[in-house]
Chain A
Amino acid sequence: MRALRDGGLAGLVTLVLTLPIVGLRTVAAPEGLHVVPQIRSVVTIVLLAAAARFGIGLWASRPRASRPPGKGNAAIGRWVGGLGLLAAIVLPFVGSGYVTDLGINILIYVMLGWGLNIVVGLAGLLDLGYVAFYGVGAYTFGLLSSDFGWSFWEALPLCGLFAAGFGVTLGFPVLRLRGDYLAIVTLGFGEIIREVLLNWGVVTNGPNGINGIPKPSFFGLPFSRYAPDGGTTFADFFHLTFNPSQRQIYLYFVILAMALMTNFFTLRIRRLPIGRAWEALREDEIACRALGINATNVKLSAFGIGAMFGGFAGAFFAARMGFISPESFNFGESALILAIVVLGGLGSQLGIVLAAIGLVSFSEIARSLADLGGGLGGLIPANFGDYRMLLFGAAMVAIMVTRPRGLLSQRHPSVLLGSVAP
């Protein structure tokens, strides 16, 4: 009964919310804007909202069986992780070029998610402009290669260092303040970097971006049909026939290795004093200070290291695309990476992989859903892919409200007394 009332109420509120914005769609016409009523959309949304609220009400009022806390998740996690890694390794050999490409995309976001996770998940610092460091890395490589002819592998360390430098410079003044100021400053910084890239034409070539960024080579062997100035190509060296997919597979493994390095680093540093201090800081900063921990420095290290991995990922992005422009580094991108970390469960490495797969391949999934039997009888609109960020925004709220520690998040202690001999 209560559920019914709540459902009705939710429908009513939704009606008020959607009536003007959805119901009165303004459309451009030669003589100016005019309004086209969208009654059907409003009715659909209102019914959906009412039904959803009704369902939640029923679900919440069901008799509850107390569930014992899950054990053995660590073992399952390890199994899933191992199988996933195996699948990731064989994927490019069995999948099509399209699948490999999608895989590269996903891995970039996995790496970004793991990098941001150090900042948000471990240290509990909300960074809303992570894409800025991604951009710094990408432009560092772009400029080093186009102006100084550096190769990917030469430039990579510098890209990370540069991004970390930016992180530390930005973090230094702000990290000593309340946590939520950091959030807004990083939000602003993400936007500022984009504006500087757009407007500082002399260096960044403005909105046109940077072209002709070289791809990474395999220990100096390029992936091209003919080697420049008579050198040996990858295909020559290994007596293979040249095939463009070789380069793609190579790129796939480069980003896979970089992502795994990020993961390895995170797992390792969690067991070191600095990693433990990050987590302690997330739990209680005041207690940390009382124990003699320099909170500003500890935060700065997390911020800088997170930025460094963003920079690495940016360098790879630049090398893979061969072209970068400021538009690749907008707030939407930061929001996507944050969504991956949040939906994956703050602090969970595996959760981030799953979230990245879900989020990056959402459009593909949406397309196949919409194709499936005419969108399940018209329930799935044809442009369902456009609903991606809308749904992510809603999911972020829903997860914070229901499972604030994330979906898969279950913390594993960094050290067990049982495992150390006395």
Chain B
Amino acid sequence: MTRTPLLEVEHLTMRFGGLVAIDDVSFSCAAHEITAIIGPNGAGKTTVFNCLTGFYKPSVGRLTLHGRDKDHLLERMEGFRIARVAGIARTFQNIRLFAGMTLLENLLVAQHNQLMAASFFSISGLLGLPRYRKAEREAIDAARYWLDRIGLLAAADNTAASLPYGDQRRLEIARAMCTKPRLLCLDEPAAGLNPMESARLNDFLVSLRRDHDTSILLIEHDMSVVMAISDHIVVLDYGRKIAEGAPSAIRENPEVIRAYLGADDDETLPGAPP
């Protein structure tokens, strides 16, 4: 299989004082694929995301996103520019919605940059000029589309905080998608979902990749999700990459099995020999 890389992570290292949270990790995500990062608690998965999206400045390493017309060196960009220019959107392990605002407003905030440009820094918006009205209508249509996709259209005018947990997770994904990202980074999207919701999420993620020009980078503990939908898996343990490959290969990798069994919890790989 030939993979055209979208994101390349080279020698990524992140230290917090004396703690080495990520130690010389390299991997890549191919365009139009779903790449999963797995690993026991504290392995450094979220930290990888935080480096990618500019919340942490990596101690060492190069992070390249191959854009449509040029390459973006993420480690040199400010956080908000990574989302705006390079087109990386993300969700958070502990959901971060605008809790007091409605679902629709949440999705409109995600389209802030294009609306700002259309409203000419609010001036034509204040005057109510047609150009802005048109942009606003389009933004609302986009929001409507995504609300429909996640099945929450009827709740559009409720506050985000009033949603049940599983719906909040999907809303956060929809909000990220409203920025029209090249790469969507999802931090444990299936956490706290019941098996049925989790299966629905699988379908949703697969359809996202099918219908939109978006690749997905996924952190997940739920192996039923990971094994079912990912094309490529990266395994981290104590900040190191211990394996990388297709799901079938990872399932059989002895190091991975040791890391998971050694982690002493219930997350054994389904179908793996004990």
Contacts and interface: CB of A to CB of B under 8 A. Distances in A.
A291 B109 contact: yes
Contacts of B79: 289-290
Contacts, number: 122
Contacts of B84: 292, 294
Contacts of A279: 98, 100-101, 105
Given A287-B92, A290-B90, A415 B140 contact: yes
Given A290-B79, A292-B112, A415-B104, 12 more contacts: A273-B119, A274-B119, A274-B121, A280-B101, A286-B55, A290-B83, A291-B109, A292-B81, A293-B109, A411-B100, A413-B102, A413-B104
B125 interface: yes
B26 to A, nearest CB: 24
Nearest to A284: B96
A265 B127 CA distance: 11
A interface bracket (residues with beta carbon within 8 Å of B): 20 to 34
A415 B98 CA distance: 15
A279 B179 CA distance: 18
Interface in A110-164: none
B32 interface: no
A287 B97 contact: yes
Summarize B's interface: helix, strand, loop or mixed: helix
Contacts of A287: 92, 96-98
B53 interface: yes
Among A277, A283, A295, A417: residue with most chain B CB under 10 A: A417
B17 to A, nearest CB: 20
Contacts of B1: none
Given A291-B110, A291-B112, A273 B175 contact: no
A420 B138 CA distance: 11
Interface in B125-158: 125-126, 137, 140-141, 143-144, 147, 153, 156-157
A96 B102 CA distance: 46
Nearest to A288: B109
A396 B52 CA distance: 42
Interface string B66-78: 0000000000000
Contact of B179 (A274, A280, A291): A291
Contacts of B54: 289
25 contacts: A272-B119, A272-B125, A273-B116, A273-B125, A277-B112, A279-B105, A280-B105, A280-B112, A283-B98, A284-B96, A284-B97, A284-B98, A287-B98, A288-B80, A288-B109, A289-B83, A291-B83, A291-B112, A292-B82, A293-B113, A294-B84, A413-B157, A415-B105, A416-B104, A420-B137
Interface in A389-422: 411, 413-418, 420, 422
Interface string A252-293: 000000000000010011001110110110011011111111
B65 interface: no
A292 B80 contact: yes
B253 to A, nearest CB: 32
A271 to B, nearest CB: 8
A419 B221 CA distance: 41
B112 A269 contact: no
Given A279-B101, A280-B101, A293 B115 contact: no
B97 A416 contact: no
A124 to B, nearest CB: 11
B108 A273 contact: yes
Nearest to B53: A290
A283 B144 contact: no
